[in-house]
Structure 1
Amino acid sequence: MTDFSDDYDAFDTAGVRLTVDLGAIVENWRDLARRSGRARTAAVLKADAYGLGTEDVGEALYLAGARDFFVATAEEGATLRLYAPDARIFVLSGIWPGMERLFFENDLVPVIASEEQLSFWTAVLADYGDYPCALQVDTGFNRLGLSVDEALMLADDVSRPASLAPVLIMSHLACGDDPSHQMNRQQLESFRKVSAAFEGIESSLAASAGIFLGPEYHFDLTRPGIALYGGEAVRGIANPMRPVATAEARIIQTRSAKAGEGVGYGQALQLTRDSRLAVVAAGYADGYLRSFSSGGVPLRDALPQGGQGFIAGHRVPVAGRIAMDMTIFDITDVPEHLVRAGDYIELFGSNILVDNAARAAGTIGYELLANMGLRHQRRYMAEEQE
């Protein structure tokens, strides 16, 4: 039997592939650390590092000097612990009965976000002893956290057990991506009261957008997420972050179609000229959202043209509806000798920035990155060592 194993490269033959520039992520973190001034800079790695891989991204940032990380779940924290051995890892969803062993064995810090969690955590400490936690305070977001009044009462409660020793007080800005929004100032003033009440305990208010609001918002620790991964953190300004991820899909077939013919499900696109089409191996099961379709998406009115790809120096539009496993691009305007079956079309990357791609689908870069799916093959470009 012939052995073909040496000829097979999963990345080079993948239908959908993702190139992750770890050096760019590290440079973005260092840039955000500079912008954070005196505050230390953490890294948010929830949702598998925004779809880019907790293990590789976490290790790269740890080696670059990051020592504070935030994840969404304890399971994410347990994975990260293998690659960030002595870092503080905060779990944003907090802790619930039955999770104690997972937290303690992996040295994870729960972010206590409600009176119910606080009561449970206090009972745990009565049996276990001293163990760090963080307190989330809602300063106007109306999402997670103790209310400001509840937090202030806790700070003044002389009967609270000594074992309840938070190492961080934190809150989250609702409108940080809009520097002119009055809510930013309101939340800042509320958080200042809470921070002052917990004197001697570190405070954190700014995620990616908050870093750009200036030193008032930085406190002791900043928590960048989307900006690490090259996404826009603030609306209305040029994005200073380096692109990090490039998603590509392999062309399965090119074909010709006549003016007047329809393309794809529902014949949602009617061709107005003789056209060349490229069928690629990516669809909504791969995180290439159905709302990128060029037509037949009733809920998307603002950007009726749909998504675009990039190949051989040309932007090429999506043609018709996106299917589960396939998307069709109109490559009529690309010289025929420059495109053939087996080539790759960029879905987003350095030529089509992730946020620009997301806008074409009526969404944001966060969702596009986090939904890239499990079928893409990843390749990591390591940070260059000086």
Structure 2
Amino acid sequence: MSVLYSGSTLKINLKAIADNYFILKAKAGGREIAAVVKANAYGLGVEKVAPVLKEAGCKLFFVANLDEALELREILPSSDIAVLNGVIKGQGKFFAENNIIPVLNSMEQIDLWSKTFNQKPSMIHVDSGMNRLGIPIDEYEKVINSGKLEKLNVKLILSHLACADEKKNTKNVEQLNIVRKVAELTPNFKISFANSSGIFLGKDYHFDIVRPGIALYGGNPIPNSLNPMKNVVEITANILQIRNIDSEETVGYGATYILDKGSKIATLPIGYADGYFRVFGNRSYCAINGKKVPVVGRVSMDLITIDITSIKDEINIGDEVEILGANVKLDELVELAETIDYEVLTSLGSRYRRIYTN
């Protein structure tokens, strides 16, 4: 859908994404950075984001499934693209024909790939404690001892941290010890272990290649600490209506907020269909000219209302209101919604007028 006349705007700073790439590369001691661009580059537009990361020096990109990989192949004809979910029956030829690398997550996927495409590049995911995808370390040893590993063209062994955003969690060290064992069993293979937060756990977690996702897009890889990444996303909305309240009134569905006499409210064209969560009603805020104003009443599908009584400057219909940006931080919205920054970004809808800046 082409969006030309929306009253809400999503601004994406591509230079900030490139800057974040270099911040992470420095933090990883110069290790290779493989960018995770699944879910449409975390909702920000893979067709715009991926070329910027390639220009910054990224050679390897991870996506979730084959559809995402085929889309990305159209954008990046020569880059290495790997599919985290691996390959299932009937898909192998599409991987091979488009030079897409499967991450083999099970004995079944290893056998499937080995039968026909064993000379094509692949990766193997060893589960170090997530218990989601990947083969356990004992099965990995069986793969080695059976000779199956020698028959594959394995480019990378990867594993995934379960609690990297909790630096003191003992699970991190437990997983690290398993990955170290993987490195001992197959010392000639490159290893990728650290995600965004994992990069900040220290050099022991870096190995050969790190795989940041959310941090590239401005998400905080070290929760409850100052965000070291540059802000990438700004959301604004233009005022649709301003109303002066002459007597005590309620606002919005369910009449959940009572407005005092003399209040002034503004209605904005953004709602839960745009990824502005319903939970923000009566608890979040926006900003006008750098000053925060509360969201009052429930969030509707297409609209929210804000109390602008405290703003003494002249405010008019059509004026721009900050929803997310310099004064309303992503971390703050994450805390208010009791969620994670991944969910906030990937929930952004398709109705914004998108502006990409450098």
Residue matched to 1:25: 17
Residue matched to 1:300: none
Contact 1:291 1:362 in 2 (8 A): no
The structure 2 residue matched to 1:206, chosen from 165, 177, 194, is 194
Residue matched to 1:99: 91
In the alignment, residue 76 of structure 1 is paired with which amino acid? E
Q: Go from structure 1 to structure 2 and tell me whether the alpha carbon gap of 1:196 and 1:282 turns closer, same or farther (over 3 Å shift).
A: same
CA RMSD of aligned residues (A): 1.6
| 1:167 matches 2:159 | no
The structure 1 residue matched to 2:317, chosen from 312, 328, 341, is 341
Q: Deviations over 1:202-247 (max 9, x none)?
A: 1010000010011100000000111101111112321110000101
SS of residue matched to 2:171: helix
In the alignment, residue 20 of structure 1 is paired with which amino acid? I
Residue matched to 1:53: 45
**Structure 2, unpaired ranges of 5+:** none
Residue matched to 2:356: 380
| 1:248 matches 2:236 | yes
Residue matched to 2:73: 81
Residue matched to 1:72: 64
CA–CA distance in structure 2, aligned partners of residues 240 and 348 of structure 1: 18
Q: CA deviation at 1:14?
A: 2.0
CA–CA distance in structure 1, aligned partners of residues 236 and 99 of structure 2: 38
| 1:138 matches 2:127 | yes
The structure 1 residue matched to 2:225, chosen from 232, 237, 258, is 237
| 1:308 matches 2:297 | no
How many residue pairs match? The answer is: 357
Residue matched to 2:6: 14
In the alignment, residue 306 of structure 2 is paired with which amino acid? F
Residue matched to 1:319: 296
**Structure 1, unpaired ranges of 5+:** 1-8, 295-305
Q: Go from structure 1 to structure 2 and tell me whether the alpha carbon gap of 1:163 and 1:152 turns closer, same or farther (over 3 Å shift).
A: closer
Q: CA deviation at 1:273?
A: 4.7
In the alignment, residue 313 of structure 1 is paired with which amino acid? G
Residue matched to 1:356: 332
In the alignment, residue 179 of structure 1 is paired with which amino acid? K
CA–CA distance in structure 1, aligned partners of residues 201 and 104 of structure 2: 26
CA–CA distance in structure 1, aligned partners of residues 150 and 107 of structure 2: 18
- Given the two structures, how large is their TM-score scaled by the length of structure 2? 0.95
Q: CA deviation at 1:171?
A: 0.7
- State percent identity of aligned pairs: 40
Residue matched to 1:181: 169
Contact 2:92 2:113 in 1 (8 A): no
The structure 1 residue matched to 2:212, chosen from 214, 218, 224, is 224
Q: CA deviation at 1:37?
A: 1.1
Q: Deviations over 1:305-340 (max 9, x none)?
A: x21111112111111100111111111111251x22
Q: Deviations over 1:243-290 (max 9, x none)?
A: 001011222111122453111000011124531111111111111111
Contact 1:28 1:230 in 2 (8 A): yes
CA–CA distance in structure 2, aligned partners of residues 273 and 70 of structure 1: 55
